[in-house]
Amino acid sequence: MTDPEEYVELVLQVVERVPRGRVTTYGAIADAVGGGPRQVGSVMSRHGGPVPWWRVVRADGSLPPSHEDEARQRYLEEGTPLRRSGSVDIVNAFWGPQ
DNA sequence: TACTTGACATTTT
DNA sequence: AAAAATGCCAAGT
């Protein structure tokens, strides 16, 4: 059941489903596809290239520690609600797996 | 089998 | 508000 390859596909599909201008969290994805948030993050680091990885943020709205600057540009272009703290306004921008 | 590591989360200092 | 400590899950060594 759920081979590693399938698990990766599930995660990537959820990310692709995130609407423009919204974001989701690793925990939400983990809750939807199973496993733990760390596992989701690991999958993203290995196979998150071709998907809008900037729409996936940490639980408090902070950006991934590896590509914040890139992600911030995307947010400015897409009109994602940002906070003065430099993080995403997770309260208004959060999108959960439907 | 045991220890270490990692795009995390939550609670406590 | 920011940093450290603890818990969690799976994979690699």
Residues A39-82 have pLDDT tens digits of: 999 999 999 889 999 999 999 999 887 788 889 999 999 999 99
Query: Does strand B come within 7 Å of the CB of A26?
Result: yes
Confidence of residue A3 (pLDDT cuts 50, 70, 90): confident
Which CATH number is associated with domain A4-92?
A: 1.10.10.10
- Residue A14 (CA) to nucleotide C8 (C1'), in angstroms, measures 22
Query: Does strand C come within 7 Å of the CB of A87?
Result: no
Instruction: Report the distance separating Cα A8 and Cα A4, nearest Å.
Output: 6
Domain boundaries, chain A: 4-92
Confidence of residue A5 (pLDDT cuts 50, 70, 90): confident
Is-contact A25 A56, C-beta < 8 A?
yes
